[in-house]
Structure 1
Amino acid sequence: PVSLSPDTLELLAYLHGSELVARFQRRCGLFLVDATNHSQGSTRSHLTGTPDHGCSRPQYEVRNLILHYLFLLSAGLGHEIFYITCLPCIHWNLDPFLCRRLVNMWTVVMYIGQVMKDLLKLPRPLSPPVVKLETRVDAEYGLPSTHAMAATAISFTLLLSAPSRIQFQFEVGLLLAVTLSSLVCLSRLYTGMHSILDVVCGALISFVLLYVTYPYWETLDHFQLSSPISPVVGLLLPLFLSYTYPELDRYTTTRGDTTTILGAGAGCSIGYWVNEQLGQTFEPQGELPVPLPTLTVAALPLGFARFLLGIVVLLGTRQVVKTLSLRLLYWWYRVPKNDDSARRRREIEVPSKFATYTSVGLVNSILVNRIFLLLGL
């Protein structure tokens, strides 16, 4: 075992402390107030409320609306709504190759981050003194921040993969990658969901994973697209990892969220293999790297139409498969239809979420582009 000096342990405890997070929130204009002060009002407050409509939660004041909405938007870049819109949009409107790289790294990084959380079991910041603006994941453990991991991995995987595919100024891409990942990391402090140690460790772990895996990206591409066992590995390995996810003494959303990510990764992996076998990958034609697509008056509405139609198809797939899988599993395990708590049981949660998001990944990678072709989009 690695032994740490007392000074190092003291520094780690300091970086993991809740007061640092609360201090950052106050510097950004987010203040915790008790109910009596809140009811009297405040002339300095621009926005007041309770986090996620939790009436029993401490109330807060927002004194800097610009930073407030900037960080809320940045935090949203780590939620499902971002992944189910942004990553597929890269596939539909830019380059499926880049989407494949992003999905692969996103899946690996998020699985490792989620497992580390539930093995290390370090708590999130305390409230008070911290204002917590999200409650869905409050029961989860804190270190590392998977928002920080995902933002770092996605930003820099795109930066490292894009030069061979698309012509752009690398310095501009580097600035955007640093800005995006930094905003997401800071948003986790602002929303009160992570300590500085959680965020720093999350970003560092992602950089280590990028460094370790980067030399093997081409090899993985070749295996994923060409090997006859690729679809078998792409399906069974994520399914195995979902079922063997570490058990906790209490329910949190980590196992379900991890299964969602692994399912989406499995569906996309199989879909990309199928496209390669069919000889229709929808990748840019001609000499690479190609110029960035021009944003013309005609291209913008076309891209927007593809985006809207694609999202409708994916959300429709998600809803249909989720409903059918839950009904089938409830019937199989003889669970009453009105027992919503049964969704937390592993034998129901894992197959339902895995089937749902594997289907979403398959539809995204195989079907949506072919619908675009049929409709002339």
Structure 2
Amino acid sequence: MEPFPMLTQDRTVLNSDGNSHVVKSRDEQYDAGMRDLDHYSRRLPMWRYTLRQHLIPIVRWETPHLAYLQEMCRTPLLDSYFALTANLGAHTFFMTALPILFWCGSTTLGRAMVHMLASGVFISGVLKDMVCIPRPLSPPLVRITMSKSAALEYGFPSTHSTNAVSVATYALYYLHTTDFGLSSSVRFAAIGVGYAYAASIAIGRLYCGMHGFFDVLAGGALGALMALLQIVYGEMIDKWVLADSFLNPLIITAVLLLAVRLHPEPADNCPCFDDSVAFAGVLIGIEFGLWHYSKTAFSYDSPVPGTVPFDLRTLGWLRTTARIVVGIVVVFMWRATMKPLLLRCLPPIFRIIDHLGFILPRRYFMPADQYELIPPLRKDDNVIPSASDLPGFITSLRHPRRRAISIGPQSEADAHEVIASREQRRRASMSQPTLSPLRRRAYTESEALSAAVIRKLSVGHTSEGDQRKFTIDAIAAVHGTKGSGIAKTHILADAPPTPPASDASAASDSSKEEERLDREMFSQLEKPRVRYDVEVVTKLVIYAGIAWLAVEGNPIFFELVGLGMR
């Protein structure tokens, strides 16, 4: 029997405002009892499944060590610090900061940063969906994050580390090769900031329980590779793109669209693909915008073609600040206007194209012939939030601990790993016939404690203080090491009884109870919202437009409204 039955029926979808609407749906209905250990072997091609099987033991090996280090180092101050600084490696920060580089005349640096970050995000998203490696398990780890969507993604590699290392590496290279007229002490301080930035983001990923050592090392290596490629080939690529022929930007666009189409399908409902699409759109908009802007009379050819005219002494701080504020407002207005427009106009077009047989739908995206209307989508964008989300984002920055702490499985990949790890330990125990009765008893007690820990913590039945007490025993339960015993008597009260090995009826009852707990665990997961096929094109258009506004649209607008150099 297939683990994911396909049901074709109308269903009710809850809008963000609390109202509901009915859509015709052919969506996969998840049943924890049917999610066996063959989930990934059935959902992945053999070569991807084999690669995953070689990598997953690394995550399981490093989890107890990460949990131990986290427990030894955690303080409220560090929780707030790493929760806040994680935003400096996130997409939202870069998508807001990068346009400012262009508007302030740093076209070379801005173009390099876009190329590295967009390529890094896209490639890390491809790797995440390719091998489907979960994040280190919680429990025993406590996850500290201000982004709920981040925990829904796979763990390998760390995109935060990729971004941070690529930015720091190129910034240090740029600092060494460019004469800014800085004193030696200021230059030394700037170098220290670059190293501290990359180290803080990487260590923060480990401290926050969001990634393991392997994730961070792989992400850092990918970031260093992106920076190296930009250093060696960036100038050559820029000259090729900015040549007179319009064909060159078209070639890049075709390659990027093909890459989006070939992006691997994940085994679980992971939003990594959304970020990849967004940054592919950014690259398309950057290349087209720079090519065309460099041909206009508004741009400078020095130091590179397509440079936005800027001089702080001429403009002054007031007009410089005004152009940045106005530019950001224009970006948000573009997003707020185009998104609902495209979501309204594209479904009928997609239904016509689908009828002609040209649509190749992705898994977990509802095709246009299965719905009538798309409801207003809220909190659905990991890259640039809507303007209405900004007050909440600012509040979370002021009070990072309000929603930073979480314990328990948060994604489908987490829940699969809980079940797979449990079965792996069980098989390892049963494969040792010489295991002493005392060791076997300790193992079954650990299994019961593990299930109860996941149940108790994942549904939020405990305060943060109690959660801290349970962490060491969770490490012992999930990974078979020696625990402190602090929480055992409290947790085991909720655990299902473990039957004697000879009692088949009791074993069956225990299996049913275990399956019930698994179902409860899956029911507590944050369900990804319904995603629609038109959102892929919507993201491409919106983020290509944002990039075009950064490099051409807003710079011309600044000149026309008196915020430029004319």
TM-score higher than 0.5 here? yes
Structure 2 residue 99 is matched with structure 1 residue 88: yes
- Residue number in structure 2 paired with 1:6: none
The corresponding residue for 2:263 is 245
Q: Give the equivalent residue in structure 1 for 2:89.
A: 78
1:177 maps to which residue? 194
Q: Report the number of matched residues.
A: 327
Return closer, same or farther for 1:284/1:222 CA change in 2, 3 Å cut-off. Answer: closer
CA offsets 1:314-373 (integer angstroms, 9 cap, x no match): 11111212211111223333532246688624x323111111101111111111112222
2:557 is the counterpart of 1:366: no
Amino acid at match of 1:344: R
Question: Separation in 2 of the partners of 1:360 and 1:141?
Answer: 27
Residue ranges of structure 1 left out of the alignment (5+ in a row):
1-8, 30-62, 287-291
Question: Which residue is equivalent to 2:294?
Answer: 276
Alignment partner of 2:79 out of 61, 68, 74: 68
CA contact (8 A) 2:132 2:266 kept: no
Residue by residue over 1:146-181, the C-alpha shift from the partner in whole angstroms, topping out at 9 and shown as x without a partner, is 110011112222332353474445544432221111
Seen in structure 2, the aligned counterparts of structure 1 residues 324 and 293 have a Cα distance that, compared at 3 Å, is: same
Q: Which residue of 1 aligns with 2:462?
A: none
CA distance in 1, matches of 2:162, 2:126: 13
Write the distance in 1 (CA, Å) between the matches of 2:280 and 2:273: 10
Shift of 1:277: 1.6
CA distance in 1, matches of 2:76, 2:233: 45
How has the CA–CA distance of structure 1 residues 328 and 20 changed in structure 2, closer, same or farther, with 3 Å as cutoff?
farther
Contact 1:243–1:350, Cα closer than 8 Å, also in 2 = no
Instruction: Report the Cα distance in structure 1 between the residues aligned to 2:554 and 2:179, rounded to whole angstroms.
Output: 22
Matches within 5 A, 1:129-278: 129-134=140-145, 135-161=148-174, 163-164=177-178, 166-168=180-182, 170-228=187-245, 229-278=247-296
Question: How high is the TM-score relative to the length of structure 2?
Answer: 0.53
TM-score for both structures, normalised by structure 1: 0.77
Larger Rg: 2
Alpha-carbon distance, 1:109 to partner = 1.7
- Residue 270 of structure 1 and its aligned partner are, at CA, apart by 1.0
Cα deviation, residue 94, structure 1: 4.2
- Mapped to 1, the partners of 2:60 and 2:188 lie a distance apart of 31
The match for 1:302 is 319
How big is each residue's C-alpha offset from its partner over 1:263-283, in whole Å with a ceiling of 9 and x where there is no partner? 012101111111112254357
> Which region of structure 1 is more displaced relative to structure 2, 348-357 or 277-286?
277-286
| Whole-angstrom CA distance in 2 between matches of 1:369 and 1:129 | 50
Greater displacement, 18-27 / 73-82 = 18-27
- Identify if the C-alpha distance between structure 1 residues 167 and 267 changes in structure 2 by more than 3 Å, giving closer, same or farther: farther
1:21 is aligned, of 53, 66, 69, to: 66
How many angstroms apart in 2 are the aligned matches of 1:293 and 1:196? Answer: 44
Distance 2:266 2:59 in 1: 27
Gaps of 5+ in 2: 1-53, 305-309, 350-367, 378-527
Q: CA deviation at 1:255?
A: 0.5
Residue number in structure 1 paired with 2:442: none
CA shift in 2, pair 1:144/1:227, >3 Å: farther
Which amino acid counterpart does residue 373 of structure 2 have in structure 1? K
> What is the correspondence of 1:351-362 to structure 2 with a 5 Å cutoff?
351-362=537-548
Offset at residue 213 of structure 1 (A): 4.7
The structure whose RCO (Cα within 8 Å, separation 6+) is larger is 2
Kindly indicate whether residue 328 of structure 2 is the aligned counterpart of residue 316 of structure 1: no
RMSD between aligned residues = 3.0
Task: Note the alpha carbon deviations across 1:198-254, whole angstroms, 9 max, x for none.
Answer: 112211222233334532122111112115122202322222211221012322111
The structure 2 residue matched to 1:348, chosen from 534, 540, 545, is 534
